Structure 1
Amino acid sequence: MTTDQSPILVWFRSDLRLADNPALSAAAEDGAPVIPVYIREKDAHDPWLPGAASRWWLHGSLERLGKALAKLGSPLVLRSGDPASVLAALAEETGADTVLCNRRAGPTAIARDRRVGERLSARGVTVHPHNAALLYEPGTIRTKSDTPFRVFTPFWKALLSMPEPPRPTRAPGKLTPPAKPVSSESLKDWCLLPSAPDWAGGLRERWTPGEEAARERLADFLDGPVAAYPAERDRPDHDGTSAMSPHLAFGEIGPRQIWHAARHAADQRHELAAGAEAFLRELGWREFNHHLLREEPGIPDTPLDTRFARFPWRTDKAGLRAWQSGRTGYPIVDAGMRQLWQTGWMHNRVRMIVGSFLIKDLLIPWQEGESWFWDTLVDADIANNAGNWQWVAGCGADAAPFFRVFNPILQGEKFDPEGAYVRRYVPELEALPNRWIHKPWEAPDEALRQAGVKLGKDYPRPVIDHGTARDRALAAFQEIKKAGD
């Protein structure tokens, strides 16, 4: 079916879903022909375009979104280039005078969207942005003095006092196609998947991108595991987290869908209430980081605490390589970094441990860790990535104090007491007894021999003594404190 109305361009970005997609819903309700479009942006000066792991996920997500849109009647159009130029060309080609989209995060993305709006407006094309990525619009949760929150707990209390987020909307039942087919690039030709070498085997084994997989994962988590979430969320040796973060990052599911699903599960089964609340609090932390980024667009690069601009960071290429490759000699750190490389994801507790090690044991700038995570995480999210790294470094909003230095041995013994997580990702230590699994350099020669481990050959000795590193980090922090007094 076609109409005489001008078609509407629905510009997909980090909202790769049909349900609870305000831009798509508005276009479908209008009754005009709908042209869904995804633009692969190219900007050599933008460091926040998708990293390698995100590109792998993007391929799978677009593939599934394209099939779903085709079933609704209007195929997904793929184009590459500058969004303003691509959308202007599409508007001229199809006669569209309206672009509907959902807002996205990040200083470069916001600036680019502003340029898109100005350029299209000059051509008589109107851009209407919607909110699909957050529970509430940035700027709507503020202190009593009408300033943005810088501490999470009062932000969370203020969020809970707000009216409930809108209930999610259903996916459109059908879309009116344009009168003439619109040419599209081939997803295969975008070469988003690695090939030489193909390092994505672990990602394929661990993940299924797409909206359907996101719904299934959430349902499975809320069906029972959420009950133990407050205790299990810190155990990397157990499967106690939701692992929803990559689906959220790509917008295959929205926060309002998660919020109301968790509330409903808790209402139906009261034993899930505490777990659901703890789970939603993590959704609130994501919200906090996104609201902060809108107020402080420089946080992906610049410490919120300006004292840290004077911090005596070290240039340590060998230390950085050891950390990136999971060869620091500290098993819990190395397990986390190898899990990241193999699966594109890392357990949240371990993210804090490896972050603390990079920043405080090695004195390497937090931006190096942020950059590595951006390239290797399938859930890379500019607001969360920046906010979490600044939190660990002690220079962000509501940050852990710098003098809180994670001890990788004690953290491993507490949260991976049987060493199951380390044994999974550091198999060369598999036969080492529990007593030594988190500190193999202290193991007796006989224990190492029986486990088949030669330190310095099969597994590295620690790149630095943690006690010495901690003292050095605290001394460096005292330097910037004195300079600021």
Structure 2
Amino acid sequence: MDAATAATATAAAAALVWFRKGLRVHDNPALDAARRSAARVYPVFVLDPRYLRPDPAAPSPGSAHAGVARVRFLLESLLDLDARLRCLGSRLLVLRARDDVSDAVCAALKDWNIGKLCFESDTEPYALARDKRVTDFAAASGIEVFSPVSHTLFDPAEIIEKNGGRPPLTYQSFVATAGEPPKPVMEEYSVLPPIGDTGGYELLPVPKLEELGYGDLSQEYIPPFRGGETEALKRMRESLQDKEWVAKFEKPKGDPSAFVKPATTVLSPYLKFGCLSVRYFYHCIQDVYRSAKTHTKPPVSLAGQLLWRDFFYTVSLGTPNFDHMEGNPICKQIPWRESEELFVAWRDGRTGYPWIDAIMIQLRKWGWMHHLARHSVACFLTRGDLYIHWEQGRDVFERLLIDSDWAINNGNWLWLSCSSFFYQYHRIYSPISFGKKYDPNGDYIRHFIPVLKDMPKEYIYEPWTAPLSVQEKARCIVGKDYPKPVVDHEAASKGCRRRMGEAYASNRLGGSTVKGNSSNSSRRKLCHGGQDVPDSSKSKQPRKRS
């Protein structure tokens, strides 16, 4: 055998599995294909400075794109993946990119003489550009590429093709087009092919959070959700053990103030990072349904929530500028106002509305909050009270949520701001009565805003209405220890409705901004996930204390 033939044979025997999302062993078609086709398998994760590089200008510790809660969850997920790979006789090879991840991957492909590259496909714009640079290099180098769809139930591109080249713009049309999702790849194996020679590469351990340069983290809250496939599977199994709960799950029903034991599965972060296969989760839910006499149906059922996820992935892939108002063909053009002062008050949990502030503080500390809590603060920022651009709120969620998913985050903000998908802008979440309905004693507020912990329950949602003597007894003077409301909700929401009406009228005069098969969407009464939007505020509104 000559040298060229030997080199070709060596390359064909080596496969690189590039982990990005999909941080798991179960139902991982990319890993499965590599182990079947190669004598040596290199499992690789590249630390991306885009998400990890410290940003001193950020409003809280972390990078420009990720707060420390999400970074912590990622690192925990990588540690768990490494442990699971070691149980299979392998390990995770952690590399650090100087600037561009694609450069690090291409260098490894060349230096390790890789013959096959396997990675889970990704539809986010940043990922598409990154992956194209790598696949172009692989094609020019004669490297085989296998990039299966496994982060979603369906292939979004196939759904768009089946729908005539356009994404379905309603949930119902999406479900009708999609059909049944494929089954997961669940073949068990006890060993992976060994890792080949890595030459002079510096193979890093998974870094500790404190090693990433985010400064003093001693005061940072450690969220109650630990990352990784092991925890994901455990949490899923525990959730599905209550078969009656699964069968009766209905998205409009849930307590957004429950924090000791959240009212949902809290599996969204594990789906975001791919620690849990969405296909495996979906089919496990179907197993429960088969054992139940009756069960709820999409869009409100538990399985229906996974279909919502795929809906947003599909629409985002097929919609230009999906993450912006301008140039987005399905987004209403609304002249949102600019107010840095009001935006910062919202972002930092200093609006003077305890329900809103407690939610934003939970977001900052935990990187997670209940979906109805997200609805409340999104509505307050945009069409409900402050009339500030949804893109600003989107950026805060994108950075702080541990389950921040590009398609879903943008889709939800488009929806909740009544910029697309849902158009009943007159239906507004009250920042007072909505939370009180679930938690009249205000335990959620007392937990996340300790300065209000001694405020009597009759004033906990409206502390500015408490007599001064009550505030003094509670050791919380409004305007000193806790801020006064930044707006009067009754007046602000009335103004928002008027402005939204004017913006909608202007959009109609300029032609419809929504194209495709969404003719019924403006009359629907469902918010995403089948959630009824609460009635407009009829509760007691801010009044000035004399």
TM-score using structure 2 length: 0.80
Map of 1:392 onto structure 2: 416
* Alignment pair present for 1:341 and 2:376: no
Contact 2:249 2:300 in 1 (8 A): no
> Are residues 1:439 and 2:439 paired?
no
SS at match of 1:372: helix
Which of 33, 42, 62 is the equivalent residue of 2:40? 33
Give the structure 2 partner of residue 404 of structure 1.
427
More divergent stretch after superposition (48-57 vs 433-442): 48-57
Distance (whole Å) between structure 2 residues aligned to residue 248 and residue 300 of structure 1: 21
Moved more, 217-226 or 9-18: 217-226
Q: Give the Cα–Cα distance (whole angstroms) in 2 for the partners of residues 101 and 192 of structure 1.
A: 28
Q: Is the 8 A contact 2:65 2:398 kept in 1?
A: no
> Of residues 190, 198, 207 in structure 1, which corresponds to 2:225?
207
Instruction: After superposition, give the CA deviation of every residue in 1:187-241 in whole Å (9 maximum; x if it has no partner).
Output: 328867575221674334x121100000111111112254564278531233210
Contact 2:20 2:45 in 1 (8 A): yes
Contact kept in structure 2, 1:332 and 1:408, CA below 8 Å: yes
Structure 1 equivalent of residue 145 of structure 2: 127
CA distance in 1, matches of 2:322, 2:219: 30
Distance 2:497 2:267 in 1: 36
Distance 1:210 1:13 in 2: 13
Gap change, CA 1:200 and 1:36, over 3 Å in 2: farther
- Residues 116 and 34 (structure 1), Cα distance of their counterparts in 2 relative to 1, 3 Å cut: same
Q: Percent identity?
A: 29
| Residue identity matched to 1:100 | C
Question: Which SS does the other structure have where 1:411 is aligned?
Answer: helix
Q: Distance in 2 between matches of 1:294 and 1:62?
A: 27
CA distance in 1, matches of 2:167, 2:388: 30
Determine whether 1:167 maps to 2:196.
no
**Alpha-carbon distance change, 200 to 86 in structure 1, aligned in 2, over 3 angstroms:** farther
Q: How far is 1:91 from its partner?
A: 2.0
C-alpha deviations, 1:260-304, integer Å up to 9, x for none? 111212333447667996111111111111111110152123364
In 1, Cα distance between the equivalents of 2:346 and 2:13? Answer: 54
Q: CA 1:252–1:153 in 2, change beyond 3 Å: closer, same or farther?
A: same
Contact kept, 8 Å, 2:232 with 2:275, in 1: the verdict is yes
Give yes or no for contact 2:353–2:485 (8 Å, CA) kept in 1: yes
Q: Deviations over 1:383-442 (max 9, x none)?
A: 11111111111112x224333322211211223333222222122222333332222222
Matches of residues 19-418 of structure 1 in structure 2 within 5 Å?
19-42=26-49, 50-81=66-97, 82-141=100-159, 147-159=166-178, 162-181=179-198, 183=201, 184-188=203-207, 196-198=215-217, 201-204=220-223, 206-224=224-242, 225-226=245-246, 229-230=249-250, 233-238=253-258, 239-270=262-293, 278-302=301-325, 304=328, 308-309=332-333, 311-360=334-383, 361-396=385-420, 398-418=421-441
Matches of 2:77 and 2:382 in 1, distance apart? 34
Check 1:110–1:233 CA distance in 2 against 1; reply closer, same or farther (3 A cut).
farther
Q: How many residues of Structure 1 are paired with residues of Structure 2 in the alignment?
A: 477
Please give the secondary structure, in 2, of the residue aligned with 1:436. Answer: coil
- Over 3 Å counting, the alpha-carbon distance change for 1:169 and 1:306 in structure 2 is closer
Letter in 2 for 1:439: E
Amino acid across the alignment from 1:245: S
Task: Give, in angstroms, the shift of residue 70 of structure 1.
Answer: 2.2
Cα pair 1:366 1:390 within 8 Å, conserved: yes
Match of 2:301, SS?
Answer: helix
Answer whether contact 1:65 1:210 (CA < 8 A) is retained.
yes
* Cα distance, 1:479–1:283 mapped onto 2, change above 3 Å: same
| C-alpha spacing 1:379/1:236, structure 2 compared with 1 (3 Å) | same
What amino acid does structure 2 have at the position aligned with 1:216?
Answer: K
Residues 181 and 279 in structure 2, CA contact (< 8 A), matched pair in contact too: no
Instruction: Give the Cα–Cα distance (whole angstroms) in 1 for the partners of residues 311 and 218 of structure 2.
Output: 34
Give the AA of the match of 1:72: L
More displaced, 10-19 or 165-174?
Answer: 165-174
After TM superposition, give the deviation of residue 164 of structure 1 in Å. Answer: 4.3
C-alpha change, 1:7 and 1:48, in structure 2 (3 Å) is farther
1:243 deviates by 0.5
Please report how far the alpha carbon of residue 130 of structure 1 lies from its aligned counterpart in structure 2 after TM superposition: 0.6
**Following the alignment from structure 1 to structure 2, what is the Cα–Cα distance between the partners of residues 149 and 93?**
44
- How much is the aligned-residue C-alpha RMSD, in angstroms? 2.8
| Mean CA deviation greater in 279-288 or 438-447 | 438-447
CA 1:53–1:300 in 2, change beyond 3 Å: closer, same or farther? farther
**Aligned twin of 1:8:** 15
The letter of the residue matching 2:393 is: G
Find the residue that maps to 1:352 and give its secondary structure. helix
> Measured at CA, do residues 300 and 22 of structure 1 come closer, stay the same or move farther in structure 2, by a change above 3 Å?
same
State the shift of 1:67 in Å.
Answer: 1.9
Distance 2:77 2:90 in 1: 17
- Report the counterpart of residue 6 of structure 2 in structure 1: none
Does the CA-based 8 Å contact 2:151-2:277 persist in structure 1?
yes
CA contact (8 A) 1:55 1:192 kept: no
Uncovered stretches (5+) of structure 2, i.e. residues with no partner: 1-8, 54-62, 510-546
Alpha-carbon distance change, 130 to 306 in structure 1, aligned in 2, over 3 angstroms: closer
State how far apart, in whole Å, the 1-side matches of 2:74 and 2:211 are.
Answer: 8
